[in-house]
Structure 1
């Protein structure tokens, strides 16, 4: 399972590097702030996936792996908060300029590929994280899902802005993700404050736990 998890993380890293390059290039060519910001978000995911990959490849089985795991979780928590701030900033700019995701064929294709591919990768990583009880992998998978959601908002924005001129739909749908990003971020950065509660909380990938999207009590596995 560790080999599979590392392979998925490596794929995430390579894909997001390529996605970032294409998105930034397409965004500059089309004058699209949304596409450029989307590309920048990809490199945030690269940083997180790289750190978790290193944790699995180098730190697995080390005596200090538990402490290192906590540090990674806290770092990922901060990246969720950074992503939330970036989404809010991008949306405010979009509303103030009355501009959404500008029409771009490469951006449209990129969004379709991301929406088709990355949610499945994220759910696979969530299942592996639950089976191996590795919280940092679960947190990284949730960030992949967050980026997948942003791909959905980009696709919606590109489509409706091109067809109907609904420039406001892209920033509006992106803002819907912010509460979840903040919750996940605060949960990560406050990890040390909930040690007693954490002992009774497990990772799970059952349907009752939304396939790993939220943590739940260990008895949920019996549901």
Structure 2
């Protein structure tokens, strides 16, 4: 995730690509979420289940809040780009990293979901949903960059970035409230 974040953020900044930059920022959010999750599990190990329920709620809400923050950033930045008529330059590094991330994130998300169901952890489920979001964002990045490369249309970066916002908000709401979590 660290390599994915660094490569995507660097490629996004270099190419001026919001969709690649958002992908890299999502990777940073996943890293932060993993840190919060490790904290939550350490609380349970040190203090037992009673204390971990409170830590579970805090960790789940942090995961949801991070998804909301990413959704807000992507929305504002995408709308600004569409309003100002600023597009991206095609990014081969961003394209390659996103292409590799599609199957990697799918595998990681399924493993995290399976473990979340076994241990009954909303926080791990929220972390898994961030991996799912990263997988979808990877797909959007690949499609957006391929379409931009093929057509040269300036608006594809902004439109492609907006395509993922609904998913970020949906998963953020579920993480925040614990809804639709069959594991809990």
Q: Given the alignment of the two structures, is residue 181 of structure 1 paired with residue 168 of structure 2, yes or no?
A: yes
CA distance in 2, matches of 1:102, 1:40: 18
Structure 2: give runs of 5+ residues left out of the alignment.
none
How many residue pairs get aligned? The number is 181
Q: Given the alignment of the two structures, is residue 38 of structure 1 paired with residue 17 of structure 2, yes or no?
A: no
CA distance in 1, matches of 2:157, 2:91: 14
**Structure 1 consecutive aligned stretches of length 4 or more whose deviation exceeds 6 Å:** none
Aligned position for 1:27: 12
1:162 CA drift (Å): 0.7
Q: 1:202 to 1:77 in 2, by over 3 A?
A: closer
* Structure number, greater radius of gyration: 1
1:126-145 matched pairs, under 5 angstroms: 126-145=113-132
1:1-223 matched pairs, under 5 angstroms: 16-56=1-41, 58-61=42-45, 62=48, 63-190=50-177, 203-204=182-183
Provide the secondary structure at the position in 2 that maps to 1:60: helix
Taking only aligned residues, the RMSD between alpha carbons, in angstroms, comes to: 2.3
Q: Is the 8 A contact 1:73 1:136 kept in 2?
A: yes
Q: Is the 8 A contact 2:86 2:155 kept in 1?
A: yes
Structure 1: give runs of 5+ residues left out of the alignment.
1-15, 192-197, 205-214, 216-223
State TM-score, norm by structure 2. 0.85
1:100 CA drift (Å): 4.2
Q: 1:30 to 1:48 in 2, by over 3 A?
A: same
